[in-house]
Amino acid sequence: MDPPVNLRDRTAIIGAGSSAFTRTAERSNILLAADAFQAALADAGLRREDVDGVVNVLGRASGIDLDELVAGLGIESRFSTQTWTHSRLMSTAIQHACLAVAAGIADVVAVFVVAGYLKPEGTANRQHEAFRGRGGPHGEAPHYGILTTMGGAALATRRYRELYGLTDEQQGMLSVTLRRHASLNPAATMRKPITLDDYRASPFLVDPLRLYDVGPNTEGACCILVTRAGRAADAPGKPVYVSGFQGMAMGPSEFVFSRPGLGALHQPAGPFEAERDQIAYRMAGVTPADIDGLYTFDAFTTLILFALERFGFCAAGEAGAFVAEGGIALGGRLPVNTNGGIHSEAHVSGANCVVEMVRQLRGECGERQIADARILQWGDCFGDALILRN
């Protein structure tokens, strides 16, 4: 399949904004959305009337539905859509916005993630899928005590540990590194640095996942404004171009909290080698070696290992050593989640990481700035990717 190179750098993120991120529920979901929207508009130098498209991620019960969102913020939208109620569709939502803008059916699309996980209806009701006769999408089976999304992540992590000898130190350096990054980020909810000893002393939630392997539930919203590259070039701020992307992988070879070949849940086990020339890289005209920083879904830290291998930054089984050597730290070979990620900044489905990518590419990140950041990637263990450049 030929990659859509004609879409390379055709669209841009013209503005990005966030609400405050908090560890208690302080603002209603529509107010969180409004905070993020106004911050993004101010960042872009746009007015609400310039926005003519809306893509919403999550919806109820963890967030807000498209109807409430558009009505509440008084947006006149002519391209309007909402992804299913799962975090992992965040970059897919941004891709929809890019495609709509590139096709000319909208001019400025606002992508919203509103995540009110600490409201009574937030996380509790999200478990409704687990109670289907066929169980939940992360392997949940409540009658067996396989509760929350953590069980599936724990099974994948245990298998990886047994196959490749991942050590406690290597696993612990994931959360130590993310906390170090968050300590440099005034917006992060979990800013206190931790040591490997702290990590080893933290209790198991679902062995092999300890408390510090798991990001807390938080409250927050982000808004990303996408427009044509030409329009972005005329904006006051420095534009950030969308160079490449690829969709989320699903199907028989996939389990959401794994990478192909690992053999977690019902996914086949077998040798793994990263697919070469993935669509996002070919679309952007780059290789993994050109990427200055990686942003990825890290609600469970070990998912970072699977993402590093999926995109070919590390060979199968070698991501743990790469992390322990400082490979994912600021100043390392491939800094990962310099904002602290979902793990330590906030769980806004990773939209908070996209906001960080924009800030990094503009050189606005102060102490945690990646020196001379030019090309950054969002990429998940579940296969989706966005490649942004300045």
Partner 1 sequence: MSVAPLLPTITDENRPFWDAARAGRFRMQRCSHCATLRPSPSDICPHCLSEEFAWVDLSGRGAVSSWCVYHRAFHPAFKERVPYTILQVDLDEGVRFVAPLAGGGVRPLKLGMRVRVVFEEAAEDVVLPVFALEEDVV
Name the residues that contact partner 1, by CB under 8 A. Answer: 131-135, 139, 141-148, 150-151, 154-159, 162-163, 203-209, 252, 263-266, 269
By C-beta, is 133 or 331 nearer to partner 1? 133
What is the closest distance, in whole angstroms, from the C-beta atom of residue 11 to partner 1 in the complex? Answer: 35
Residue type, 179: R
Q: Which of 373, 113, 128, 144 is nearest to 218 (CA)?
A: 113
Distance CA 324, CA 331 (A): 14
The DSSP output letter for 64 is -
Contacts of 252-257 with C-beta under 8 Å, sequence gap 24+, read: 254/382, 254/383, 255/139, 255/152, 255/156, 256/88, 256/137, 256/138, 256/152, 256/381, 256/382, 257/138, 257/149, 257/152, 257/153, 257/156, 257/300, 257/303, 257/306, 257/381, 257/382
Distance CA 115, CA 217 (A): 9
The DSSP output letter for 388 is E
By C-beta, is 121 or 325 nearer to partner 1? 121
By C-beta, is 72 or 317 nearer to partner 1? 317
What is the closest distance, in whole angstroms, from the C-beta atom of residue 369 to partner 1 in the complex? Answer: 37
By C-beta, is 251 or 331 nearer to partner 1? 251
What is the closest distance, in whole angstroms, from the C-beta atom of residue 116 to partner 1 in the complex? Answer: 20
What is the closest distance, in whole angstroms, from the C-beta atom of residue 302 to partner 1 in the complex? Answer: 12
Residue type, 225: L
What is the closest distance, in whole angstroms, from the C-beta atom of residue 258 to partner 1 in the complex? Answer: 10
For 158, the 3-state DSSP assignment is helix
Distance CA 336, CA 21 (A): 20
Distance CA 12, CA 176 (A): 33
What is the closest distance, in whole angstroms, from the C-beta atom of residue 54 to partner 1 in the complex? Answer: 34
By C-beta, is 48 or 131 nearer to partner 1? 131
Asked whether 255 and 136 are in contact (CB, 8 A), the reply is: no
By C-beta, is 139 or 350 nearer to partner 1? 139
Distance CA 28, CA 375 (A): 36
By C-beta, is 17 or 208 nearer to partner 1? 208
What is the closest distance, in whole angstroms, from the C-beta atom of residue 154 to partner 1 in the complex? Answer: 4
Reading the block at residue 92, the tokens are 């897919």
| Element housing 178 (H / E) | helix 168-183
What is the closest distance, in whole angstroms, from the C-beta atom of residue 132 to partner 1 in the complex? Answer: 7
By C-beta, is 135 or 193 nearer to partner 1? 135
